[in-house]
Structures are given as structure tokens and as C-alpha cells.
Structure 1
Amino acid sequence: MLDLEGTIAAPKPAQIRAPKQLRSRRTLERIVAASLELLETEGLTGLTVHKVVAKAGSSVGSFYARFDGKEDLLDYLGERVWTEALERWEVALETRDWSTLSLDEVVEGSVGLLIDAQRSRSDYLKALDWASGRQNDAYERFRGELLLGLGRLLLGQRKSITHPDPELAVRIGLRAILGTVDAEIRATEDRLDRDSLAAEARTLLLGYLTGNASPAAQPIGVDFFDVWG
């Protein structure tokens, strides 16, 4: 039985006073967009209530009508970004005809998706991780569901997997790739660029599943899911 992440618990909901009126919901969306932009450009120290409301064209009162403070905002952002990514992934799994892809294509797409998800977490959301006591429930759930979904897609190509235990090979293979990607992204010297890392990781996973992979193979160009929509 494929079990990549064990039991995946639902994330704890962030504390927010949800707006009921359309105008208030639009204000919330502007606050969210402004906050993410500030995090990306200025980091955690640049995220202040006054900067957020100024960029959002809102008011301090509107901010505090929804959040108790910066910590509540960070909790909400961290949960929302990964919850929405998970929703898009679930839709992609349900609506696309994955049977048209070969094992090589699924491997390439899987590797690329794991890299992009980890890079997004490392770069785009690093300010959220640096905040003291930050909860990562939503990201952990996204990663768990992502691994399960990719595992099922790879096992859909079982006939092309020559490892004597395909389920074990998929489970260990994906975990190995995730660990490799995470370590490489965190490297401070001689870090591979995205395409080079994807090529090496593809060779590693495909070789483990089949015992045969060409390190010189050109990318097929598979891009079957965008973390950010």
C-alpha cells in the first residue's frame, strides 16, 4: 500500500474575522495581495500594518476589522497560499487525462513539480517560515497530498517500472528526490540552477524505477501543474 506521508491531518484554520459583504471581501483580497508583495520584496521586516494598508489602498481600521495583528495575518497567508495550491492540484488530478503520458513524462513532470514547490517555499515564502512559532500545517498537508498524487500517477505506469516492488520504489524514489531537492536548494555554494537540478533528479528517479536512464537525455518539456495557478 502506497503511504508516502502517513496520515495527513487537516491544517488548523487561521484566525480571521471573515468578511460577509462583497466590498469587504475585496478589501481583504487587496490586503492579501499587498502583504504577499511586501513579503516578496522587503521580507518580514518590511511587512508592517501601515505599509500593508497603504499599498492596499485601505485603512488601519479595515485591517484590524479582520486581523488582531501581524501574527494573525502571517498565519492566514501561510495557510491560504498552500491551501489554494492544494485545491488546484486536486482539480488537476481529477480533470486531466494522465493516461496519455509515458513514465518518462510523468517522472519529468513529478521532478519539476517537487522542485518548484520546494523553491517556492524556500524563496517566496521564506519570510513566513522565519516568523517565530510559525505553523507549517498547510504546507505539510500540501506536500503530503502532492506526494500521494504523484505516487499514484507513477504507479499508473507500473508496466514500465522494472523495480521488483513498484510501490516501494515509488515511495522511496519520491522521498529521495524530495530530500535531494531540499538539500540542493539550501546549498550555499555551487548550487545547481533549476534546469540542471531537474535533469539530474529525473535521471536519478527514472534510473531507480527502471534501472535505465540517460543522463544526457533532453527535457521533454512536461509541465503539468503550476503551484501558483
Structure 2
Amino acid sequence: MGEAAARSPKQHRSRRTLQRITRAALELIGQNGVEGTTVGAITRRAGSSVGSFYARFDGKGDLLRYLDEHIWETVEQQWSETLAGGLSERPINELVRGLARLYADLDLVHRDARDAIGQALRGPWAGPSDAALRTRARVWEDSQRLLLAKRGAIVHSDPELAVETVCRTLESAASLFEPVFLEDLCTALVVHLVGDRDSSLPSGANVEFFDIWS
């Protein structure tokens, strides 16, 4: 259990107050940045009191650390809920597209606030937080597991390497591609895994990823 989940109060009223403060802080930081967001502005947006804020946080820095953890716990929760929805049952071409959309959606979770908080806590050139690394590791492991479960459909001579290439590409592309380009990328990645069975490539042919761009 992460720090954010552990800090959640057991009483319903207190939990609702924390949720309002959290939501208000993320909205304001996303709009105005960390420096442009004050405790007073957060409590006003949340419809709460300054006393309620300091009953839960030692100050703004404590809030930022909590929010950093909370964002990544939210990402991991959304990931788990999507996997539970039957993504693993889809054929490999739909699985790749489903993972691509999921990577892109998760990248949007409180992105402006997430980036601002990360810079405030760790500086512009610092690496990701422990919570981010933990969540990314979970997503990475699950993605590889799901794709390798379709090993029978993969024609590449090295299925593990092919799946690793797909996962690294999806992770890197999540924040860079518009939906139409993401769809084109998914088509290329599916060809990398299973070959182009609908056109000139014979069944069982190996396809190197960068060959599709030539």
C-alpha cells in the first residue's frame, strides 16, 4: 500500500474532505503551477477550512509529496480496472491497440499537475519518483505478460525481444502521438509481431520492426 492510500481516513466525512482538498489542489496546480497555488486557494476551491488542511498536511511540501503518490496510485488503479475488464481475452491485434490506448490514457492522468509537482519536488532534471517507478514497472510487466500469452500468434524468431520492442515503443509514444498516428503505429507493431498475413508476407515470415518504414 502506498503512502496516499495509507493516509486515507477511515471516517467517511474526513475521507470526503481529503478528496475535496486533493481534487482542488490538482486542479489549481494544473492550471497555475505549484508557485501559483496557495493553501488558501486550495481550501477555498475545496470548500474547506485552512484548519482542515493543516490537520492533514504539515504544509505545502507535505501536500505535494502526497499528491505525487496519489497520482501514480490513481494510474495504477485505472490500469488494474482496465485489465480486469477482459483486455487479456482479445486477439493480439486488438490487444496491441488496447494497450496503446491505455498507455495514452494513463499518460493524461493529471498530466499538467503531475509534471509541475515532479519539478517542484525533484527539479527539472531529476528522475521519476519511487511511486512512478513502481507503477511503470507494474505496467511494463503486465504488458509483456499479456503479449507473451499470445506467443502462439507471434511469428518473430525471438518473441521476447519482439514483445519488449512493442512495449518500449508504446511507452515512449504514449505522450507523443495523436490518435490517428497511434493507430498507424499500432498497425506497424502488430506486423512486427505477427507478420502481414493479409498482404505479401507469407505466413510465418519474420518482420523486423524498422523494415516496415522502408
Per the shorter chain, which TM-score range?
0.7 to 0.9
* AA partner of residue 133 (structure 1): R
1:222 corresponds in structure 2 to none
- 1:195 has 2:188 as partner: no
Percent identical:
39
1:50 corresponds in structure 2 to 40
SS across alignment from 1:45: coil
State how far apart, in whole Å, the 2-side matches of 1:165 and 1:159 are.
Answer: 12
* AA partner of residue 201 (structure 1): L
- 1:154 has 2:147 as partner: yes
2:30 and 2:110 in contact (8 A); partners too: no
The Cα shift of 1:132 comes to: 3.3
State how far apart, in whole Å, the 2-side matches of 1:137 and 1:91 are.
Answer: 22
Deviations 1:43-99 (A, max 9, x none): 222321000011111111111111011111111111112213313423443453632
- 1:176 has 2:166 as partner: no
Mapping 1:69-218, distance limit 5 Å: 69-94=59-84, 96=86, 98-99=88-89, 101-120=90-109, 122-133=111-122, 136-181=129-174, 185=176, 192=177, 194-212=178-196
1:66 corresponds in structure 2 to 56
Unaligned runs of 5+ in 1: 1-9, 186-191, 215-229
Query: CA, structure 1 residues 23+175, in 2 after alignment: closer, same or farther (shift >3 Å)?
Result: same
SS across alignment from 2:30: helix
* AA partner of residue 113 (structure 1): L
Larger-gyration structure (1/2): 2
Query: Whose helix fraction is larger, Structure 1's or Structure 2's?
Result: 2
The normalised TM-score by structure 1 is: 0.73
* AA partner of residue 207 (structure 1): V
1:34 corresponds in structure 2 to 24
1:203 and 1:213 in contact (8 A); partners too: no
The normalised TM-score by structure 2 is: 0.77
State how far apart, in whole Å, the 2-side matches of 1:213 and 1:112 are.
Answer: 23
Query: CA, structure 1 residues 141+167, in 2 after alignment: closer, same or farther (shift >3 Å)?
Result: same
Q: Tell me the C-alpha RMSD between the 2 structures.
A: 2.7
* Bigger RCO (CA 8 Å, 6+ sep): 1
